[in-house]
Amino acid sequence: MIAGLNVIADNLDYLLWGRAAAGEPGGVLLSLMMAFGAALFALPGGIALACLAWRFSGIVRKALFLWAELIRGIPLIFVIFWMWYLLPLITGSDLPGALTVTLALAWFTAASVMHSVLAGLRALPSGQYEAALSQGFSTRQTLWRVLLPQTLRNILPSLVGIFISLLKDTSLAFIVNVPELTTVAGQVNNRVQIYPAAIFIFTGVVYYLLCCSLEQFAKRWRFKRPAPLPE
């Protein structure tokens, strides 16, 4: 057991940030970078798609629902493979592996964000929309100034769950050999070939601590926000 801990200690810097000093981040650092980058694309993208589906009925809404159901019904690992092989054909050049996985994660996560935001919009009382229109707000102003702020506050627990899943899903980057935490843990295990239990228990603990920290941060941020003034 002590020897297993020594293996982790000897490779801790590689597990945490890979070869960041040489300009090649990896390990925990790369996992966080991919999760954060995917969230930057997925959150505004999912919100925008939800607003389109809420605003426009008919073929627009049906097309967005079809797209979201298609993406959510396919294993993420296939989405990563598609991005890995299709993006070079579309762009005409090879993209960095971490960027390809980040885009795949963002595309996959945006569908879940869209569903969550649209459900939140539909859960609001219809009287709020009508009252805002009667006060002179346009449909667009009503959506962005009245409905969306309430929706995002109400669905915060759902969004936290989505982004916790996103953080864990970065581990699938190992299938295209992107050196995130799971990949570098496997590399260390292949080099040492003696203490796999210690290495992968450490990896699981790190993922748990990251996800738990995200959840606690979201809870603290939510409870520190000022309560609305009584009417």
Query: For 170-184, what is each residue's pLDDT tens digit?
Result: 999 999 999 999 999
Whole-model pTM: value is 0.87
> Which of 2-16, 158-172, 215-229 is least confident?
215-229
Q: What is the mean pLDDT of residues 96-122?
A: 93
Are the C-beta atoms of residues 55 and 129 closer than 8 Å to each other?
no
Query: For 42-64, what is each residue's pLDDT tens digit?
Result: 999 999 999 999 988 889 999 99
Strand partners, 25: 18
Residue 212 banded pLDDT, cuts 50, 70, 90: very high
As a whole number of angstroms, the distance between CA 115 and CA 145 comes to: 20
Mean pLDDT in the chain? 88
Among 76, 220, 205, CA closest to 160: 220
Among 179, 187, 197, 228, CA closest to 23: 179
Are the C-beta atoms of residues 27 and 181 closer than 8 Å to each other?
yes
Domains parsed from the chain with CATH numbers? 1-223 (1.10.3720.10)
With a cut of 90, say whether residue 227 has pLDDT above it. Answer: no
